[in-house]
Every structure is written in C-alpha cells, then in structure tokens.
C-alpha cells in the first residue's frame, strides 16, 4: 500500500509501511535478540539507579552531575526508543513498521544519540576548567551554566533531527521499501528514494561533522590542555589525583566514539557484509548506554561515597521505623 502526496506540483509516493530487514538474515538471530533484551534490562536498571542516586544525594547536586544525569537520561531513553520496538517486531514476527512510526522512531533514536555525544563534550568542558582553571572553576562552571549548556544542546539536537526528518518526508519511495538495518536507520532509508536525495546526503555529512567530528576534536583538544596543565603540577600525588578525575570520562569517550569511527572508516576503506555492519551497529548503540552508569558508579569516588551514604541513611530510617511500628501495635 502506498499513498500519493502532492507537494509543490510534484507527486511523492509514500509507502504505508517499511520492511525492517534487521537481524533476520543473521545466523542464530534469536541469540542476538536474547542478548539485546539482557543489555536493555541492565541499561534500564543501571541508568535509573545512577539518576536516582544523583537526585537523592545532595552532594551530587553540582554542575558536573547535571551533565552525568543528562547522559544517563539520554542513554535510558535512547535504548528505550531502539530496543523494545525491535523486540516487539521479533516476538510478533512482524517486520513491518508504519511510515509515521518509522520516522518517529528515527527522530528519537538519533536525537538521543546526538545528546550522548554532546553530553560527553559538556563533561570534557567541566574537566578542562576544573584542572586548568581550578580557582575559577565554581565561577565558570555552575549549575546555571551547565543547565544552559545542556538546554542549548537539546535545542541543537532537536533542530538537526527535525531538518533530517523533514528532508525524508520529501522523498518518494517507488521501488523497494526494505530497510537494510535493524531499525528505521536514516541512511538506508533515504538511499531507497527514487527522486533526488542529495539534501539528505548533505545532511549526513552535517550530522557526522556536528555530532562526531566537532565534539571529538574539541574533546581531544581539551585533553591536550589537561595534559599540559598536569605537567605543571609538581607533586606526583596531586597529578595522579587530578588524572583519576578524568578516567571515567575518558572511558566513556572511548566506548562511544571508537566503535562509531571504526564503522565509518571500515565502510569507507573495505567492503562490509550487511550482517557485519548491522551487528556492529547494534553493539555500538546498545553497549555504551549499558556500561556508562556502571563505569560512573565504580570509577568515580564521589558517586561511590554518595551510594554508601544513601545506603546508611536508608538503613537508619528502616531501623528507626521498626521500633515505631512495634509501639504503634502495642
């Protein structure tokens, strides 16, 4: 089923559904499905836990943890926009998705991916100011500043995706509607168009530049500055202490950017089998949101201390409630 839409004296053919090829041609697809369900469960629990800890622990009500909270939020919603829909299609053995649902899914999946990238950039800004300008840190990086930065990032992300979706709606699909991905991926969909899709191609380069190249370049530059600042610290213990505050962020940056860059480089330099590309994309988008809260919980001393304090508070409250209940009964 297709619909004919007249726009600016041109006729566009919009399919009623897209067919998501996904992992169905991948051998032992059910194991990947089971693995993704496990990853999603851990992602939901881990990011909900880190968000709850930041919300409840007053010691974490700082500019840095506003960004960490936003990263956990983006990870949680990004995974929720991606994995449950795929799981539903797999369970019902129905690989079709409506045109409107497909564009909606595309918008939110990439919106939260952009926010993950931007939030890592915001965290690098926090670290470079903290280490390079420690005396001016609280004047430059405060809750108001970080909230404003995060707000602007959301606006930019929503604008990029709104333009991308608007360009897709101007495409005509008169041939195949089989999407060679496991979700409504922007690239595989606009390449199916039978009219001019040059604006969408241009948007891909804009997306790569704004979402990957510029943030990664700025993050690398910030760590060059941090490296020079650390060399100026005379005491080795202070230098190690300062370096430890960056380890969590560096691990998150590596987990997010390296797999994505490897996929793009491999696609440009060698032929990737469609199954290989799809599996790599699945792991790239599913694994970092699962590991981010685990890394921040285990590698950040402030979070560990806050978790311990919250546990003690809950334990004390529980202990004081028990005698009150027994008195009330008597």
Give the CATH number for residue 57: 1.20.1070.10
Higher pLDDT, 85 or 222: 222
Sign of CA dihedral 179, 184, 188, 191: positive
Q: How many domains does the chain have?
A: 1
- Classify residue 309: in a domain, yes or no: yes
Distance CA 75, CA 71 (A): 6
Predicted TM-score (pTM) of the model is 0.86
pLDDT at 235: 74
Q: 30 by DSSP, 3-state: which?
A: helix
The reply to whether 3 falls in a domain is no
Residue predicted with more confidence, 299 or 285? 285
Domain with 201, as residue range(s), is 17-314
For residue 320, being part of any structural domain is answered with no
In this structure, the number of other CB atoms found within 10 A of the CB of residue 330 comes to 5
Reading the block at residue 322, the tokens are 């028990």
Q: pLDDT tens digits for 161-205? A: 999 999 999 888 888 888 888 888 888 898 888 888 889 989 988
Asked if 304 and 49 count as a contact pair (C-beta separation under 8 A), the reply is: no
Residue 276: pLDDT over 70 = no
Please name the residues in contact with 244: beta carbons below 8 A apart, sequence gap of 6 or more.
301
Whether residue 155 has pLDDT greater than 90: yes
Helices 63-92, 29-56: axis angle to 10 degrees equals 150
């Amino acid at each position: 089923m297709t619909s004919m839409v007249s726009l600016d004296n041109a006729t566009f053919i919009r399919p009623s559904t897209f067919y998501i090829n996904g992992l169905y041609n991948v051998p032992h697809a059910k194991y990947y499905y089971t693995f993704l369900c496990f990853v999603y469960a851990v992602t939901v629990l881990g990011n909900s836990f880190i968000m709850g800890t930041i919300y409840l622990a007053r010691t974490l009500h700082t500019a840095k943890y506003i960004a960490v909270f936003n990263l956990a939020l983006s990870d949680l919603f990004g995974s929720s926009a991606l994995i449950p829909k795929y799981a539903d299609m797999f369970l019902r053995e129905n690989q079709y998705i409506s045109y409107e649902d497909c564009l909606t899914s595309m918008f939110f999946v990439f919106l939260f991916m952009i926010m993950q990238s931007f939030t890592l950039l915001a965290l690098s800004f926090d670290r470079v100011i903290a280490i390079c300008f420690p005396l001016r840190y609280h004047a430059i990086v405060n809750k108001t500043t970080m909230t404003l930065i995060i707000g602007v990032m959301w606006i930019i992300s929503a604008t990029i995706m709104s333009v991308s979706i608007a360009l897709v709606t101007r495409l005509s699909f008169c041939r195949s509607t089989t999407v060679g991905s496991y979700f409504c991926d922007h690239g595989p969909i606009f390449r199916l168009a039978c009219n001019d899709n040059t604006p969408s191609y241009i948007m891909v380069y804009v997306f790569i530049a704004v979402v990957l190249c510029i943030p990664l370049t700025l993050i690398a530059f910030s760590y060059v500055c941090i490296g020079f600042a650390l060399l100026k610290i005379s005491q080795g213990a202070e230098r190690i202490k300062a370096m430890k505050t960056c380890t969590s962020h560096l691990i998150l940056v590596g987990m997010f950017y390296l797999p994505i860059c490897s996929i793009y480089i491999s696609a440009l330099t060698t032929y990737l089998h469609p199954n290989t590309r799809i599996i790599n994309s699945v792991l790239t988008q599913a694994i970092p949101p699962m590991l981010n809260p685990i890394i921040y919980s285990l590698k950040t001393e402030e979070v560990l201390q806050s978790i311990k304090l919250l546990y003690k508070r809950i334990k004390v409250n529980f202990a004081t409630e028990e005698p009150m209940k027994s008195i009330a009964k008597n």
